[in-house]
Structure 1
Amino acid sequence: MTRRAKQGQDDIIRGEARQTMSWNEAEILAARRKILKSAQDMLAGQLSYIEGARNIVTASTKARLDERDVDLLPFVGIVSETDALPLW
């Protein structure tokens, strides 16, 4: 058994569910960079919070983030409450 397979087996025994990386790691990393850039731009006043939240939620799926992550939920709420508003 490989070291990686053994680690995965140990995680299951301990009750931990590890999410394996997609085969397209470059896509995941690019999505995570987009999330970081959107957050930085919102804090710097270069991107509206509505547009930034939309960027973050859109990229979160490709970034393989858990949709129930407490850090992501406020952005999901913003998008949900403002989906009818236009960006200006």
Structure 2
Amino acid sequence: MSDAGDQESSSVLRERIANLQERVDALEATELDQADLVSQMAEQQQALATGFQKLSKRLGLQFWATLIALVAAITAIVVALS
């Protein structure tokens, strides 16, 4: 009777170990997927930061161009009225 109980508990133990191994494998696969997602997010964040820097430069240039055009327009009006 003891051998049957030992075989049964050994079988249950093997089943539990196999179940745990499946869970570990699933967790490792999930971890790899998450690492890929984090990598993609970092790339997208870098692209976004670069885009914002370019936009900031363009807005700065546009501001100065608008200011120069405004000064030129005011100067032209003053000269025309003189």
Higher RCO (C-alpha 8 Å, min separation 6): 1
Q: Which has the higher helix share?
A: 2
Q: What band does the TM-score fall into relative to the shorter chain? A: under 0.3
- Normalising by structure 1, what TM-score? 0.26
Instruction: Mark the structure with the bigger radius of gyration.
Output: 2
